[in-house]
Amino acid sequence: MVQASGMSGSACLACVDVDYRVRGAVAGCVLFAAWTDAVAARELVATARADEVAAYVPGQLYLRELPLLERVLAQVTEPLDVVIVDGNVWLDGAGAPGLGARLWEARGRQGAVIGVAKRSYVGAPSIAVRRGDSANPLHVTAAGMEPSLAAAHVRAMDGPFRLPTLLTRVDRLCRDAPLP
């Protein structure tokens, strides 16, 4: 099931997230046009029943989340320049792929994927980005874009708190969406 709200203009940036529940999962996507946007141009939701959701395997989050993220991103008709995921792009300095890198590969390396994680993944290269008054940084990684540019984009995103407004919005979108 996919739901969309209205869109004005053409978005080329997206934040995505997944929320898990006993009966299934919800993937959400908010589309926006500029890094400083405070409001999504369009919102999408895709749902999955529990029997469609893979079990959690440590270090292999992509097995669980990638199918849901692909499902919600398949509803985007605009060409995406960047997709921001809640998580890591790389799992170590040798290039072991995390969720973000797997998504980038699944998208045919089109555009870029930025990973924004609340905690660093041990051994993974990331750039610490402090936002608002938080003493705790976000850990930014990227594929298809220089990590320093990805960090600058995350730093520039709207919101006075540690998490940018649109990352908070996509999280809330997933949590609030009903399962069929």
Give the global pTM: 0.91
Degrees, nearest 5: CA angle 168-74-103: 65
CATH number, domain with residue 81: 3.30.2170.10
Domain that holds residue 103: 2-176
**Relative orientation angle of helices 99-106 and 61-73, to the nearest 10 degrees:** 40
- pLDDT tens-digit profile of 17-32? 999 999 999 999 999 9
Residue 83: partners with Cβ closer than 8 Å, 6 or more residues away: 13, 14, 15, 16, 73, 103, 107, 111, 112, 113, 114
Based on the structure, what is the number of domains in the chain?
A: 1
- pLDDT tens-digit profile of 134-151? 999 999 999 999 999 999
